[in-house]
Amino acid sequence: MDDVEPEPFTATLTFRMGILGALITDRLAERTRAYGLKVKHVGMLAALAGSGPMSQLELARLMRVAPSLVVSLADHLEGMKAIQRLRDPDDRRRQRLELTDSGRDLLADCTEAARALGDDLTSSLDADERALLEDLLAAIARAEGLPS
Amino acid sequence: MDDVEPEPFTATLTFRMGILGALITDRLAERTRAYGLKVKHVGMLAALAGSGPMSQLELARLMRVAPSLVVSLADHLEGMKAIQRLRDPDDRRRQRLELTDSGRDLLADCTEAARALGDDLTSSLDADERALLEDLLAAIARAEGLPS
DNA sequence: TATTGTTATACTCTATAACTATA
DNA sequence: TATAGTTATAGAGTATAACAATA
């Protein structure tokens, strides 16, 4: 008689963030495909834009991916002239990666696509709710040590 | 002189939801591994709990995955006695899947793990903010036609 | 000998296509 | 002939481990 209705799995924050994160990432992938980029490529451009030029190993740690993945992502971006690889003259083992102007343009286009997708996703919210959601997500990201 | 600071990619709702969704899903996968379950297995249990017994094809549509994936997920859950497969006597092509009591228990354990992970993730928010975030995500999920 | 980047290989997840049985 | 489920195969994405160059 004092039983309470148990919270369904689909009502957990975990489930909803997981599903919505996958949904929006899929949609972003669709859009960035037009620029010849996977989502991880865009993540790499964004990391370089946000933290400045850095070595591949630093980038791997920042992006939380294996160093071998940075190689193939960087190969692709270098092939598109979106980044430059520069041997560090002080330590010739290190490749210093930096954005080119065209990489910066590409990132701007992808950022605009992301912005539009976010607006779509939150089109059922009013402006205050949308701003509140952004603040809450930003607070969590900050607490988790994520960029930016 | 009327340049405005452009919104960085990492500040978009799209990026933050994508990253946080992947993060929480990884953490959930770690926890459910102790029960012998992948996240998609839990999704299947949750779908059956939320919408009642259904055929594999219906489940594939609801979960937005290929029918062949439903086969292997169901094989695993049936092997654990978490679900039962019952041939529909009216149409012997159809397999009616339904939760067992032990499947319901398993789902309850995974739901508790998800709840705990959600609390952790939002530990930097106060109770009002947390409730607000849940409401906003629920509103978006509803608008996108997602469960529940 | 340790570190950075690279290459070779393998693993996980999932979809597509071919197939079987029922309708 | 069409549909539900199954099996076989393939592809995307990513990691691990072996290797090369430099320190």
Q: How confident is the model over B38-56, as pLDDT tens digits?
A: 999 999 999 999 999 999 9
The confidence score (pLDDT) of residue B79 equals 98
B145: left (phi over 0), alpha (psi -120 to 50) or beta: left
Angle among Cα B38, A42, B140 to the nearest 5 degrees reads 55
CB contact under 8 A, A111 and B143: no
Q: Looking at the predicted structure, is the pLDDT value of residue B5 above 80?
A: no
Sheet holding B95-99, edge to edge: B54-55, B95-99, B83-87
Is the C-beta of residue B93 closer than 7 Å to nucleic acid chain C? yes
Q: Stretch A52-77: mean pLDDT, rounded?
A: 98
Q: Counting Cβ atoms within 10 Å, is residue B78 exposed (0-12), middle (13-18) or buried (19+)?
A: middle
Is B137 in contact with A13 (CB distance < 8 Å)?
yes
User: pLDDT class for A3, splitting at 50, 70, 90?
Assistant: low
CA distance B28 to chain A (A): 8
In angstroms, what is the C-alpha Rg of chain A? 19
Please list every residue in chain B whose beta carbon sits closer than 8 Å to the beta carbon of residue A125.
136, 139-140
Q: Stretch B102-108: mean pLDDT, rounded?
A: 98
User: pLDDT class for A6, splitting at 50, 70, 90?
Assistant: confident
Whether residue B137 lies within 8 A of chain A, CB to CB, comes out as: yes
The confidence score (pLDDT) of residue B148 equals 80
The confidence score (pLDDT) of residue B3 equals 67
Give the whole-angstrom CA distance, residue A91 versus residue A60. 18
Mean pLDDT of chain A: 96
Q: Looking at the predicted structure, is the pLDDT value of residue A86 above 80?
A: yes
Least reliable range by pLDDT among A64-73, B1-10, B135-144: B1-10
CA distances from B103 to A47, A137, B47, B106 (A): 43, 33, 12, 5
Kindly report the pTM of this predicted structure. 0.96
User: pLDDT class for B1, splitting at 50, 70, 90?
Assistant: low
Q: How far is the CA of A72 from the C1' of C6 (A)?
A: 10
The confidence score (pLDDT) of residue B56 equals 98
pLDDT digits (tens, 9 = 90+) for B88-100: 999 999 999 999 9
C-beta atoms surrounding A48 within 10 Å: 23
The confidence score (pLDDT) of residue A69 equals 98
